[in-house]
Amino acid sequence: MIRFNSDYTEGCHPAILERLAETNMEQTAGYGEDEYCARAAELIKRACDAPAAAVHFLVGGTQTNVTVISAALKHYQGVITAATGHINVHETGALEACGHKCLTIETQDGKLTAEQIASYVDGHFADESFEHTVQPKMVYISNPTEVGTIYKKAELAAIGRVCREKGLYLFLDGARLGYGLMCRENDLTLADVAELTDVFYIGGTKVGALFGEAVVITNEELKADFRYNIKQHGGMLAKGRLLGIQFLTLFEENRYFEISAHAARLAEKLRDELTNMGITFYVDSPSNQQFPILPDEVLDKLKEKYAFAYQARVDETHSAVRFCTCWATKEENVDLLISDIRKCIAQRAC
Amino acid sequence: MIRFNSDYTEGCHPAILERLAETNMEQTAGYGEDEYCARAAELIKRACDAPAAAVHFLVGGTQTNVTVISAALKHYQGVITAATGHINVHETGALEACGHKCLTIETQDGKLTAEQIASYVDGHFADESFEHTVQPKMVYISNPTEVGTIYKKAELAAIGRVCREKGLYLFLDGARLGYGLMCRENDLTLADVAELTDVFYIGGTKVGALFGEAVVITNEELKADFRYNIKQHGGMLAKGRLLGIQFLTLFEENRYFEISAHAARLAEKLRDELTNMGITFYVDSPSNQQFPILPDEVLDKLKEKYAFAYQARVDETHSAVRFCTCWATKEENVDLLISDIRKCIAQRAC
Amino acid sequence: MIRFNSDYTEGCHPAILERLAETNMEQTAGYGEDEYCARAAELIKRACDAPAAAVHFLVGGTQTNVTVISAALKHYQGVITAATGHINVHETGALEACGHKCLTIETQDGKLTAEQIASYVDGHFADESFEHTVQPKMVYISNPTEVGTIYKKAELAAIGRVCREKGLYLFLDGARLGYGLMCRENDLTLADVAELTDVFYIGGTKVGALFGEAVVITNEELKADFRYNIKQHGGMLAKGRLLGIQFLTLFEENRYFEISAHAARLAEKLRDELTNMGITFYVDSPSNQQFPILPDEVLDKLKEKYAFAYQARVDETHSAVRFCTCWATKEENVDLLISDIRKCIAQRAC
Amino acid sequence: MIRFNSDYTEGCHPAILERLAETNMEQTAGYGEDEYCARAAELIKRACDAPAAAVHFLVGGTQTNVTVISAALKHYQGVITAATGHINVHETGALEACGHKCLTIETQDGKLTAEQIASYVDGHFADESFEHTVQPKMVYISNPTEVGTIYKKAELAAIGRVCREKGLYLFLDGARLGYGLMCRENDLTLADVAELTDVFYIGGTKVGALFGEAVVITNEELKADFRYNIKQHGGMLAKGRLLGIQFLTLFEENRYFEISAHAARLAEKLRDELTNMGITFYVDSPSNQQFPILPDEVLDKLKEKYAFAYQARVDETHSAVRFCTCWATKEENVDLLISDIRKCIAQRAC
């Protein structure tokens, strides 16, 4: 079975395991107050061109989302999100379990626009019974989104502008950030992301680490007391250095970007070849998640050899599915997949 | 600096790192649904002599406590705990953040008794305005406790009996379980723990793993839908196999018990030698945490070379401190510590 | 200013004030454990033909919704509701503040269908990562809905059937229940409601009382320990008898139904007359809330004399607004309103 | 049965019922935005000598406590309270259900001291793992306390000073405020309370109203967006004018203070007479709750005729009980009680 069903199918970049082995019997302080975390934070701030940022390391994505959002909001405030946002769909109500409502907006492609946000907030305050509804105070976007689309620099800048005008915090979920930043269509840099948002995170779990997400806070208001929030949400790893060592390894020697570029390139190859075969896509995704629409009988055939995720039924005989590439994907497997799809389609055409 | 300040100062048992390296590029299913988790769960059930138990792997202790307790309780129910219980003191209110109150009982030694529990529950229901107070529904104990003391089999059996009589769930926090089970004074087995409680966890973070806690649920009522709770509390690790591999390595070849015994023996050595020097202890702890009472000037001297935790001021010139041993502690360092304490005391006596 | 903007513009049925005055200096037990509450509960059970039901009195609607729903759900469970449901829109996230997500379904008319519910639940369990999403466990409907529509008996029966099949609780918010039960198009009785749901409430605040909602629980599972939940949500009125006295007065001599019929009849009059004038409606509501679509200039004129609620812009020159009748509405005021609308329309037509 | 078991046994001051009847059929805006609420707020600000204060009306005490505290705290912050504080004991964990921990301090008499507060806060920040514990951010005191004791002006001023120094909000629960302010030993005025705290409430439920508590916020930081919090906690009464009318009636013509003085005087009479009989008290309470220690056989006798609350067993043959007076207590009943106690004691002495 060759797995394309997610971007967390393998372990981690081998350099990380080596570093873990080298440092294994060192004794360090716990809870992220060790030298490795300090050095990793420095590298990340440099990569973000954000020397005044606060950097914290957490274990996983759901935990990070909940920690960041609940740290920013008062009890009666909520977070604006695309209806497809991970926090709204795939976190078993973790945010609501902390007391906060997802204020959802329907989108075509998983991306919010500055206009939608402005209109939501204006609508809230124009309603004479506004105090009977949850006050919007933060905007949550993911880049790439849950369906692989990415924000262009101008779009993110516009959203950032609206957020400042309306007094909202802007939070970018970067679980797959590297795969967005390194794809062909991207025009954003890590420094842009740091400048245009109030807080965001650089995903490790899906991009080369065993686990771990690096939260980067640039808005002064959100920095205070953040570690209390981490602890309350179970994100303060006792052996915090494990996170420091991983991000140190990823951000030394440009590794984070190189392995992201590898995944991006393979996804583009898949996308280009399938497009050439005349296959259409459920979403026009430029990043490491590809959503081709394929005949069900082709999918049945592919299932014997490949793992992939079911996305949606398109018509009576076609479904959209998801193939992910990642830092660990072997090019030969992508080639094999392309060739097998080509064969299945061809057979079917006979 | 030689660290005795906690039991999570080093990485993990080297066999774990080896196994992680061996399996690194394998592709597996995510979220704990892989073969390694399945095999580790099997080994644990065997070690617990509890073939019908459900075993789940979570990342850290606070997360585990919150997940287990909130899964068991309705909104108006609370958990009885020693006032010194980890959930009451050192989790930044994680349980309250999930809506539940700690129902605290003062203790001398961090241990609850069956009588205290019975009396608390009887008192609740005897109060005519009982509906104005939180209903006790679970008992939380840690073994070893936060101050190193352990439950004897008869004590745990009595608590289990009271819990069944009063309709309470019994949850045992085993963050340091190995260090309790392998210490000289212990008469409990892992199978006893499984039999006498409704749910407990076997700590990995402090006992040889990089991180990870294995929850063992024996009460049928608590098994249903448990994975929803894990996800909601951010404990469902994407690369769940990391937990499976670690616990597999710890429970194959008896490693968990052997490394625990190592730590227990070194703590006993420290305890015995200090006792021989006439040093008294803040708590009479038989396990891997030792709380000697030492003159402040001796502590000032030791601080130059050793890291240890401050526990409490005892009188104007003496303080209680905490030294931890763990699976990774080197005997030579314990010997050095003993010898240095002896020297300091001797010098002072001159 | 003549107010049609809501159904809580006046105080209460005069018989209630009389009874409050008569009993004012009596001494009773607190917290709903007095004779008046007991007698009111008896009358309500009789009116519901539900002798085994549990009846509790709470102060307001938001409080009642939150108390009932959170009493029924475990932390990882949510409640299915129309997107327009009061709990989703107009309670400042009270339910999320208690940890639960609203699982929303879009509707045309504020009403859920049995098919929508079945499909939602089936979809949840068919998803292979179902544990990453909130588990549906309760269905919330309001009758009349927030836009005045009502459930016919066959519709409610179908929903009840689906709920039982799928293991969901069915909760009916009856803030305006009387106005639904007494309107021309209704074919439900109070006994039907009690039989087809697991729990519902009979609104007092909007139907003749100063305040107060009577929760009727017929499902045995939901009865246990309910008073703890009331207290936790601040709904256990110290002078609970105030609620007992009010519902006693409303359910003696058929008052609840008579005053509801009065409001229903006046709403029908308004609806019929406006329909005769060729005015169309935003929603086809048979109950005490009417949503005519009127020219903006007519509305500007009416505003000088009448209070009503703005509902939605329909086109550049028309808006939908809401007029409510209630137990206290004077027929002469409805006649005046009709006549003024007729005049405005006529003037405009010139 | 003559009831002294609580201070909410009767309805309300007759002037309130009259005013409710007079205004019953008036139409007003809902949710506290009517003229009566505005006028009542003005009177209260004048009585507090706090023209810039924000005044809000809520329905009950538990709701008010939860609303005020959760409005003031971030998720990781908690509230310091006497262990006997109402929020810690008698609200079914309502505060924890909103995510906040009670940080309890043991007291002799239900009163916190400035020193205890300072010491708690200093201890928190001195602990090197302070981020693992809940951050204290508010102090909750009740005046009179749950055991009837009161704060002297100097004590409250000292607490206020410590709170400002340490960056804590000071919240005073005045469920029985009138009974404290009007008792013999008191040296505080309402204006003092407003000046020395950041927020407090004036209880209506126990002092002459049917229900209702008036929150007075003097700290600017706590004023913003408060109504969202009221709504979220189910405290925004649809017919908000009911609260306005009640507080208007209580604060016109000095009624609130006069009726409080009545209750205070009767409690003092009871206290003085029992003291004269040689009876001792469980707590030395100067206000409307009295806690005499009486022989069990005397209590058995009294129980036939009087309702009172059981407080605590004192020794094998004596218990402490609670007798409350209130605005509605008849002096003849207090005299009867005194005389009956005297007789019982006398008979027993034979």
pLDDT tens for each residue of B323-334 = 999 999 999 999
Structure confidence at residue B152 (pLDDT): 98
Structure confidence at residue A43 (pLDDT): 98
**What residue type is A301 in one-letter code?**
K
Listed by number, the residues of chain A in 324-343 with a beta carbon closer than 8 Å to a beta carbon of chain B are 328
SS3 label, residue B220:
helix
Pairing of the two strands A293-295 and A318-324: antiparallel
pLDDT at residue C238 tops 90: yes
| Whether domain C14-253 has CATH 3.20.20.70 | no
Helix (H) or strand (E) holding C118: helix C114-126
**Interface predicted TM-score of the whole assembly (ipTM), two decimals:** 0.96
Contacts of C98 in chain B (CB under 8 A): 75, 99
CB contact under 8 A, D131 and B101: no
Structure confidence at residue A349 (pLDDT): 66
CB contact under 8 A, C96 and A101: yes
Looking at CA atoms only, how far is residue D132 from chain B in angstroms?
5
Structure confidence at residue C78 (pLDDT): 98
CB contact under 8 A, A238 and B12: no
pLDDT, tens only, B124-166 = 999 999 999 999 999 999 999 999 999 999 999 999 999 999 9
Contacts of D3 in chain C (CB under 8 A): 27-28
Integer CA distances (angstroms), A228 to A44, A56, A224, D6, D129, in order:
22, 12, 9, 41, 10
Which part of chain C has CATH 3.40.640.10? 14-253
Looking at CA atoms only, how far is residue C126 from chain D in angstroms?
32
Classify domain D256-349 at the CATH superfamily level. Aspartate Aminotransferase, domain 1 (3.90.1150.10)
pLDDT band at C350 (very low <50, low <70, confident <90, very high): low
Give the residue on D whose Cα is nearest the Cα of A69.
D75
Query: Is A22's Cβ below 8 Å from some Cβ in B?
Result: no
CB contact under 8 A, D74 and A76: no
Query: Is B106's Cβ below 8 Å from some Cβ in D?
Result: no
Name the percent of chain A in helix, strand, coil, to the closest 5: 45, 20, 35
pLDDT, tens only, B269-311 = 999 999 999 999 999 999 999 999 999 999 999 999 999 999 9
Structure confidence at residue C348 (pLDDT): 77
pLDDT band at D77 (very low <50, low <70, confident <90, very high): very high
Give the residue on A whose Cα is nearest the Cα of C97.
A99
Inter-chain contacts counted by CB atoms under 8 A, chains A and C: 57
Structure confidence at residue D347 (pLDDT): 85
CB contact under 8 A, C75 and B131: no
Looking at CA atoms only, how far is residue A149 from chain C in angstroms?
22
pLDDT, tens only, A94-104 = 999 999 999 99
Pairing of the two strands A309-315 and B318-324: unpaired
Alpha-carbon distance of C140 to C91, in angstroms, equals 14
Contacts of C132 in chain A (CB under 8 A): 90-92
Looking at CA atoms only, how far is residue A211 from chain B in angstroms?
7
CB contact under 8 A, B97 and D78: no
pLDDT band at D348 (very low <50, low <70, confident <90, very high): confident
Question: B touches which chains (3+ CB pairs under 8 A)?
Answer: A, C, D
Q: What are phi and psi of D217, to 5 degrees?
A: -110, 120
pLDDT band at A350 (very low <50, low <70, confident <90, very high): low
CB C175 within 8 A of CB C203: yes
| CATH architecture of structural domain D14-255 | 3-Layer(aba) Sandwich (3.40)
CB contact under 8 A, B228 and C76: yes
Structure confidence at residue C89 (pLDDT): 96
pLDDT at residue C61 tops 90: yes
Alpha-carbon distance of D176 to D327, in angstroms, equals 11
Buried b (16+ CB within 10 A) or exposed e, D232-265: bbbbbbbbbbbbbbbbbbbbeeebbbebbbbbbb
How high does pLDDT run on average in chain B?
97
Region B257-349: CATH code? 3.90.1150.10
Alpha-carbon distance of D134 to C143, in angstroms, equals 44
How high does pLDDT run on average in chain C?
97
Contacts of C83 in chain A (CB under 8 A): none
The DSSP call for residue D254 is G
Instruction: Give the count of alpha carbons within 13 A of B96, CB side only.
Output: 32
CB contact under 8 A, C76 and B135: no
Q: Is C19 exposed, middle or buried (0-12, 13-18, 19+ CB in 10 A)?
A: middle
Integer CA distances (angstroms), C329 to A252, C212, C259, C262, in order:
75, 20, 10, 8
CB contact under 8 A, A132 and C91: yes
The structure's pTM equals: 0.97
Structure confidence at residue C349 (pLDDT): 66
How high does pLDDT run on average in chain A?
97
Mean pLDDT calculated for residue range B191-196: 98
Lowest mean pLDDT among A336-350, C167-181, C204-218: A336-350
| % pLDDT > 90, chain A | 98
Helix (H) or strand (E) holding B289: strand B289-290
Alpha-carbon distance of C22 to C245, in angstroms, equals 11
| % pLDDT > 70, chain C | 99
Listed by number, the residues of chain A in 233-262 with a beta carbon closer than 8 Å to a beta carbon of chain B are 233-239, 242
CB contact under 8 A, C133 and A89: yes
pLDDT, tens only, D165-220 = 999 999 999 999 999 999 999 999 999 999 999 999 999 999 999 999 999 999 99
Query: Is A210's Cβ below 8 Å from some Cβ in B?
Result: yes
Structure confidence at residue C347 (pLDDT): 85
pLDDT band at A347 (very low <50, low <70, confident <90, very high): confident
Inter-chain contacts counted by CB atoms under 8 A, chains B and D: 57
Which token pair is B283? 């708590």
Shortest CA distance to C81 belongs to which of C55, C49, C116, C34? C116
Which part of chain B has CATH 3.90.1150.10? 257-349
Mean pLDDT calculated for residue range D33-37: 98
Query: Is C191's Cβ below 8 Å from some Cβ in A?
Result: no
Helix (H) or strand (E) holding D228: helix D226-232
Point out the residue among B75, B93, B129 whose CB comes nearest to the CB of D76: B93
| % pLDDT > 70, chain A | 99
CB B258 within 8 A of CB B325: no
Contacts of A205 in chain B (CB under 8 A): 238-239
Listed by number, the residues of chain B in 118-157 with a beta carbon closer than 8 Å to a beta carbon of chain C are 129, 131-132, 135
Mean pLDDT calculated for residue range D317-332: 98
Contacts of A135 in chain D (CB under 8 A): 225, 228
Looking at CA atoms only, how far is residue C280 from chain D in angstroms?
28
CB contact under 8 A, C25 and D10: yes
| % pLDDT > 90, chain D | 98
Handedness of CA A329, A331, A334, A336 (dihedral sign): negative
Point out the residue among C1, C24, C98 whose CB comes nearest to the CB of D11: C24
Query: Is C307's Cβ below 8 Å from some Cβ in A?
Result: no
Which part of chain C has CATH 3.90.1150.10? 256-349
Contacts of C98 in chain A (CB under 8 A): 99
CB contact under 8 A, B234 and A23: no
pLDDT at residue D350 tops 70: no
Pairing of the two strands A135-142 and A77-82: parallel
Point out the residue among B11, B30, B94 whose CB comes nearest to the CB of A234: B94
Which part of chain D has CATH 3.40.640.10? 14-255
Mean pLDDT calculated for residue range B229-236: 97
CB contact under 8 A, A75 and D227: no
Give the residue on C whose Cα is nearest the Cα of A136.
C92
Looking at CA atoms only, how far is residue A207 from chain B in angstroms?
12
